[in-house]
Structure 1
Amino acid sequence: MKRILQMSGVFLLIFFFAIWIWLSPMSGNFLNYLIWKATTSTQTVSGDIENHGAHIRYVAYGRGEPILLLHGGLSNKLSWFSQIPWLVKLGKQVVLIDTRGHGESTPGHSALSYQVFAEDTLLVLDRLGIQRTDIVGWSDGGIIALLLGLESPQRVGKIIAISANFHPSGVIQAADNTQVDAISPPQHKIIDWLRGWWSGAGENHPALEAEIKALWRVAPQLKHADLRAITAPTLVIAGENDIIDLPHSGELAQMLASAKIEIVLGAGHAAPVTHPRQINQLIASFLDLNQ
């Protein structure tokens, strides 16, 4: 019996080690974030603002010039775990927001829209006393960044839009393409739990997912004239295997008043998590950060 238990322990270690290697560099970066979070003595400011019945949670780490990180739909501010410690160590004030309905933010009574997301974001910046900031937005966060660049240009320095579309036609793959029906009930429950954890919505994830996917079908609706009116220097980043059509990303960069595009080879829609080294290098180069 003792030998069986020993062998079981060895197999478990091998299994978890294999998972660790398979998830690398994500696993190492997430561990680094957890260690940093537990040991950091950097200044932290957190709180929430209320808008349209929602409490929007925010946190700011560090001192220095601000940089705003906006996460994608059906994720939360923790999705920037590969960027947060790095940017704080570079002397930035890293501002993170949970989009309404995501993470620690409540949905409120207003229908989800990019305009409302942008309004929430400005109210957080007002609360923190930030008049102007560079913005790194991923997916939905990139759309919010572009909208802020259009409607509140005085508040925006540079924009980095990662895997962002300016029209629903730019999405070439359904976001819900997992064959859930083919998954056995225990696996289905695990996947449901993971989705709820990643969005931060928990048991409210199905309702959030339905509303967000309804939004994706009709928005954003930025026209070429809107894009040309965005004067903030912008870096458009797309993954080689992104669910955002590469010609669409190229069109976005071409139509913006001052923009360039970078393609991350081998990456999909989750490049900040799966290809953090390349993403961080692009961020540092575009924002002139001393590494």
Structure 2
Amino acid sequence: MPSVNSIYYDRHGAGKPILFIHPPGMGLVTFNLQLPLSNKYQVIRMDLPGNGNSIPPFNKITIPLLANSVIPVLNELKLEEVVICGYSNGGSIALEFALQYPERTAGIILIGGFPEVNSFLLQQEFQLGILTVKLGGLPLLAKVLGFAHGTTPDYKKEIEQYVLKSHPGSLYDMYVEGLKYTCTNRLYQIKSPLLLIYGAKDYYVHHYQYLFKERIKNTEVVYVSKSRHQIPTKHAAELNAIIHSFMDKV
């Protein structure tokens, strides 16, 4: 697979481009089941700095740094604009990208996304990630993420092995920065169409839709029935159909 500026990525298909942003540690394999979208669109996946096969940055990881890491990939592929899709905390990176580069943002898709961490349960998830990595528990974290997201034994193992490639310092920084990141007061600057996709049973992130709706006029919300947080892997067919519909309107 190609790389640019130490960023590892792949591209499949042709047509309107959609670029997927993964949450801490999981890498581009998070979106294996979104590859069928390449039958109609250009699907781009990347490993964020210090994740998967991408090299850790020289500077301390921040959400703006991670958002900036998208630009070399787009430039290498000669893409003027892209629909950017972030899953979980990858959504914060997608939002920051849209805020920094509105002229290159054709649309935004957030899967279980949020502009800030303001709920107790979500805060505890970040704190658990921080503590686990700090105590050298990357192998345990890899197993948990693989088990939670994988739909087959092979896919669980693939996710687990991919998480183990993460640079511990980079992963720690991603959790710390993700916990303190907020862009709520800047959301009004976003003019691109926004699609929010939530699992119907992912209750502790549902309230974030109101922060978005109050500040971004062109906001659409879709719930995936019977789903919790792991929509890209556990409910891929429904997710892909929702993305199809949105891409056709962008």
Q: Show structure 2 runs of 5+ residues with no match.
A: 147-158
Q: Show structure 1 runs of 5+ residues with no match.
A: 1-45, 182-187
1:201 CA drift (Å): 4.7
Equivalent residue for 1:200?
A: 162
Does 2:183 correspond to 1:222? Answer: yes
- How far apart, in 2, do the equivalents of 1:209 and 1:153 lie? 27
Query: Which residue of 1, 8, 15 corresponds with 1:64?
Result: 15
Equivalent residue for 1:149?
A: 98
CA RMSD of aligned residues (A): 2.7
- How far apart, in 2, do the equivalents of 1:80 and 1:261 lie? 21
Equivalent residue for 2:118?
A: 169
User: How do 1:1-291 residues align onto structure 2 when only pairs under 5 Å count?
Assistant: 46-50=1-5, 55-84=6-35, 86-90=36-40, 92-170=41-119, 172-173=121-122, 174-175=124-125, 191=140, 194=143, 197-198=159-160, 200-202=162-164, 204=166, 206-219=168-181, 221-224=182-185, 226-242=186-202, 244-288=204-248
- How far apart, in 1, do the equivalents of 2:235 and 2:58 lie? 36
Higher Cα Rg, which structure: 1
Aligned residues of 2:62 and 2:173 also touching (Cα < 8 A): no
For 1:223, give the aligned amino acid.
T
For 2:38, give the aligned amino acid.
V
1:234 CA drift (Å): 0.7
1:60 CA drift (Å): 1.0
1:199 CA drift (Å): 7.4
Structure 2 counterpart SS, 1:238: strand
Q: TM-score, normalised by structure 1?
A: 0.70
- How far apart, in 2, do the equivalents of 1:107 and 1:99 lie? 9
Cα 1:273–1:121 shift into 2, 3 Å: same
Q: Which has the higher contact order (CA 8 A, sep 6+)?
A: 2
1:244 CA drift (Å): 4.7
1:240 CA drift (Å): 2.5
- How far apart, in 1, do the equivalents of 2:104 and 2:239 lie? 24
Aligned residues of 1:140 and 1:164 also touching (Cα < 8 A): yes
249-258 vs 193-202, which moves further: 193-202
Paired residues, number: 229
1:279 CA drift (Å): 1.0
1:281 CA drift (Å): 1.6
For 2:221, give the aligned amino acid.
I
Structure 1 counterpart SS, 2:51: coil
For 1:87, give the aligned amino acid.
L
Aligned residues of 2:64 and 2:96 also touching (Cα < 8 A): yes
Aligned residues of 1:253 and 1:261 also touching (Cα < 8 A): no
Cα 1:244–1:76 shift into 2, 3 Å: farther
- How far apart, in 1, do the equivalents of 2:97 and 2:53 lie? 23
Equivalent residue for 1:5?
A: none
- How far apart, in 2, do the equivalents of 1:77 and 1:136 lie? 12
For 1:74, give the aligned amino acid.
G
